[in-house]
Amino acid sequence: MRHLMTCGVLLCVASLALAAEPGESGSGDHLAQTYFAKQTAEITDQTFAEINSLRDWTDRRDQYRDQLLEMLGLDPFPERTRLNARITGSVENDGVIAERIHFQSRPGLYVTGNFYRPVKQDAPLPAILYVCGHGRVKRDGISLGNKTHYQHHGAWFARNGYVCLTIDTIQLGEIEGIHHGTYREKMWWWNNRGYTPAGVEAWNCVRALDYLQSRDEVAGDRIGVTGRSGGGAYSWWIAAIDERIKVAVPVAGITSLKNHVVDGCVEGHCDCMYMVNTYRWDYPMVAALIAPRPLLISNTDKDRIFPLDGVVDVYTRTKKIYQLYDATDKFGLHITEGPHKDTQELRVHAFRWLNRYLREDESLITTVATPLFDQSDLKVFTELPSDEQVTSIHETFVPAVGTNNLPSDMESASKLDLTTTQLIRQKCFGGWPSVGEQTDTKLITEASTGNTSVKVIDFNSQYPYRLRLYLVGPKDRDVDSLALHVLDETQWTTTLAGLANVIPDHTYDVIADAKQWKTIADRTASQTIAYVTPRGVGPTQWSAEPKKRTQIRRRFMQLGQTAAGMQTYDIFRSMNALQDFFKNPELAFSLEANKEGSSWALFASLFIDNVKSLTLNDLSPRNRDAPDLLNISRIAEPPHVAMIHAARGRALLIRNGAQWNQQWSALLADNPLAEQAVKLQTTPANSK
- Whether 281 is in a domain gets the answer yes
**Structural domains of the chain, count:** 2
Q: Which of 179, 156, 153 is nearest to 167 (CA)?
A: 153
Establish if 12 belongs to a structural domain.
no
Domain shared by 123 and 220, yes or no: yes
Same domain for 429 and 384 = no
Q: What are phi and psi of 599, to 5 degrees?
A: -70, -45
Interval 125-142: pLDDT, tens: 999 999 999 999 999 999
- Position 617 scores a pLDDT of 97
State whether 603 and 647 are in the same domain. yes
Output the DSSP codes for 406-420: ---SHHHHHHHHHHH
Contact criterion met (CB below 8 Å) for 22 and 459: no
What pLDDT was estimated at residue 685?
A: 60
With bands split at pLDDT 50, 70 and 90, how would you rate the model's confidence at 353? Answer: very high
* Cα four-point dihedral sign 640, 645, 646, 648: positive
For 498-511, what is each residue's pLDDT tens digit?
A: 999 999 999 998 99
pTM: 0.94
| CATH number of the domain where residue 535 is located | 3.40.50.1820
Beta strands in 261-352 (DSSP E): 295-300, 331-336
Let me know whether 602 and 480 are in one domain: yes
Residue 373 lies in a domain: yes
Q: Of 368, 395, 422, which residue is a domain's last?
A: 395
What pLDDT score was predicted for residue 20? 46
**Do 515 and 546 belong to one domain?**
yes
* 26 band by pLDDT with thresholds 50, 70 and 90: very low
- State which of 332, 365, 395 marks the end of a domain: 395
- What are 58-111's pLDDT values in tens digits? 999 999 999 999 999 999 999 999 999 999 999 999 999 999 999 999 999 999
- 134 and 274: one domain? yes
pLDDT, tens digit (0-9, with 9 covering 90-100), for 225-257: 999 999 999 999 999 999 999 999 999 999 999
Predicted confidence (pLDDT) at residue 14 exceeds the cutoff of 80: no
| pLDDT (tens digit per residue) in 276-324 | 999 999 999 999 999 999 999 999 999 999 999 999 999 999 999 999 9
Bigger pLDDT: 405 vs 499: 499
Task: Note the Cα 499 to chain centre separation in Å.
Answer: 38
**Percent with pLDDT over 70 in the chain:** 96
Structural domain that includes position 575: 410-682
Question: What type of residue sits at position 203?
Answer: W
Asked whether residue 145 falls in the same domain as residue 188, the answer is: yes
- C-beta of residue 485 within 8 angstroms of C-beta of residue 530: yes
Q: What is the dihedral of CA 393, 399, 400, 401, to 10 degrees?
A: 150
- Angle at the Cα of 623 from the Cα atoms of 183 and 535, rounded to 5 degrees: 65
pLDDT in tens, 515-544: 999 999 999 999 999 999 999 999 999 999
Our CA angle for 66, 67, 71, nearest 5°, is 120
Q: Domain boundary residue among 351, 371, 395? A: 395
Burial class (CB in 10 A: 0-12, 13-18, 19+), 625: middle
d(CA 489, CA 486): 10
Same-domain status, 333 and 223: yes
- Report the C-alpha dihedral over residues 208, 214, 219, 223, rounded to 10 degrees: 10
Over 70: is that where the pLDDT of 24 sits? Answer: no
In a domain, 634, yes or no: yes
Q: Are residues 555 and 473 in the same domain?
A: yes
Q: Report residue 429 CA to chain centroid gap.
A: 12
- Round to whole Å and give the CA distance between 635 and 582: 35
Cis peptide before 284 (omega within 30 of 0): no
Taken as a whole, the chain contains a residue count of: 688
Secondary structure E strands in 450-504: 452-462, 465-474, 481-486
Amino acid at 312: V
687: pLDDT strictly greater than 70? no
Q: Is residue 305 part of a domain?
A: yes
Q: What letter represents residue 94's amino acid?
A: D
Identify each DSSP E strand in 279-395 by its residue range.
Answer: 295-300, 331-336
Average pLDDT, the chain: 94
pLDDT exceeds cutoff 60 at 15: no
Q: Is the per-residue pLDDT at 2 higher than 80?
A: no
What is the DSSP pairing of strand 142-143 with strand 138-139?
antiparallel
* Residue 195 pLDDT: 98
Same domain as 224, residue 347: yes
Q: Is residue 157 in a domain?
A: yes
The answer to whether residue 101 sits within a structural domain is yes
Cβ atoms of 472 and 452 within 8 Å: the answer is yes
In a domain, 599, yes or no: yes
Kindly state the average pLDDT of the residues 627-646: 97
What is the tens place of the pLDDT at every residue in 151-185?
999 999 999 999 999 999 999 999 999 999 999 99
- Looking at the fold, whether 330 and 442 belong to one and the same domain comes out as no
Digit-coded pLDDT (tens) for 426-456: 999 999 999 889 999 999 999 999 999 999 9
CB count in 10 Å sphere of residue 263 = 16
Contact 603, 629 (CB under 8 A): yes
Contacts of 619 (CB under 8 A, 6+ apart): 598, 599, 602, 626, 638, 654, 656, 660
Q: Are residues 376 and 508 in the same domain?
A: no
